Amino acid sequence: MRPEDVILPDDALSESFLAATGPGGQNVNKVATAVQLRADVFRLGLHPDVYQRLKTIAGSRMTGAGELLITARRFRTQEANRTDARRRLAEMIAAAHIAPRKRKATRPSRAAKAERVDKKKQRSAVKRTRGKVDFD
């Protein structure tokens, strides 16, 4: 699933604006440009497996009440930060939809085992010749 394919229902999202930090002069002190996006994960209607993967991906950004908290303050305008927060949420949800591949158990072949034993014997013979020199 691509981030563009993720549909974010407006009733599951809530935004609040706060004063951003960093460069920007007096504009930073006057205007609340940073966006704090809260997404109610239960209202997104995700499959339980996808929900578990999203929980892992989100880490500490997921609250105990099942809200995903994303703070965007990279840009100097509210609209750019709002778009950035929604894009990041969509990317997380898209990444959670990708199921990990199951590991397929493999065993070394008989020839591979024999080759490994032969190499060990060769190495052992090399090390055996490094012993103390006897001048008798």
Helix (H, G, I), strand (E, B) or coil at 16: strand
C-beta pairs of 41-46 under 8 Å, 24+ apart in sequence: 41/12, 41/66, 41/67, 41/68, 42/66, 43/9, 43/11, 43/12, 44/8, 44/9, 44/12, 44/93, 46/93, 46/96
Q: Are strands 34-40 and 67-72 parallel, antiparallel or unpaired?
A: antiparallel
Q: Each residue of 100-132: pLDDT tens digit?
A: 899 999 999 999 999 999 999 999 999 988 877
Q: Which domains, from first to last, does the chain contain?
A: 3-96 (3.30.160.20)
Q: Each residue of 1-40: pLDDT tens digit?
A: 676 677 777 777 888 788 777 666 666 667 777 888 888 8
pLDDT of residue 106: 92
The pTM (predicted TM-score) of the whole model is: 0.66
